[in-house]
Amino acid sequence: MLEKFYEYLQFEKRFSAHTLLSYRTDLDQFIAYSSASSYQDLANLKPIFIRGWIVQLMEDGYANKSVNRKLATLRTLFKWMRKEGITQENPMARVKGPKTEKRLPSFAREQELAPERTKHLFTHDFNGLRDELMLELFYQTGIRLSELIGLTIQDIQPNSIKVLGKRNKERIIPICTDLSRLIEQYLVQRILIAKSPRLFVLDNGKPLYPAFVYRRIHNMLGALTSLDKRSPHVLRHTFATHMLNNGAGLETLKAILGHASLAATQVYTHNSFAQLNQIYKHAHPRMNNR
């Protein structure tokens, strides 16, 4: 029933396979609740009906964040239906989701990821070099897990990497000399393993997959930090927080992270306030006199 809408998401909006799957799951659930069998059935739904679905979801134990994600899916659907002339009304315009608590991103401290602490984690063979490079790329560039897996050898330049982000948007991220040197060392070992265009491969030559990367990073961070969350995305948060703490501007950080809007980047300013507070205490003469 919704294949035309899914084609719009895939080919015009260029949503990832993971995002498309989430949309399908949410809409399958809503259609089962509404018993709609056509776009016109959906067009006839009233805001009070959708509010009833919200109540049902919350009674079923869904967290506020999950409910709001499902409502965002509906908003996209009804916006598209208006664009296509299927309906003149958008019931989502009068529907508000439950309030959600804003959680600050988890991040590691700078000293926890200092080279003298990370170096002892890795062997000098292919697997060790690959794992070290994964950790350093996540921490030094802030790329996403899917972006790391998608890197090709051609994306590597002496002073930068080219990243294909969400919705196939490319961005160039600068890298330091030490990271460039680590990539060169890894490539010397890698050439003996595989001829794949992908930068990262397993020791049998096959491309990396998300669960493998997640497991390796989880173990590394477990040896370095006391964080409860120990995922590749934590390293993305860590990169952003450390950049802001050391003087990077929000617009620069937005470009490096590949955020669509500045609002997504501004969440890191909350983490950086602690650093600003420390600087203030040490820099202002009144604070020094206390």
Assign residue 167 a region (left: φ > 0; alpha: ψ between -120 and 50; beta: otherwise).
left
The one catalytic residue in 70, 236, 237, 242 is 236
The one catalytic residue in 23, 39, 186, 268 is 268
Structure tokens at 128: 């060790």
The one catalytic residue in 75, 109, 166, 218 is 166
Give dist(CA 129, CA 45) in Å, integer: 56
Closest CA to 182 of 243, 141, 147: 141
Active site residue 233: yes
Active site residue 268: yes
Active site residue 229: no
The one catalytic residue in 70, 230, 242, 259 is 259
The one catalytic residue in 69, 162, 216, 233 is 233
Active site residue 33: no
State the SS3 of 14-45: CCCHHHHHHHHHHHHHHHHHHCCCCHHHHHCC
The one catalytic residue in 24, 144, 162, 218 is 144
Give dist(CA 172, CA 164) in Å, integer: 9
Closest CA to 105 of 227, 212, 279: 227
- The 3-state DSSP class for residue 129 equals helix
Residues with a known catalytic role: 144, 166, 233, 236, 259, 268
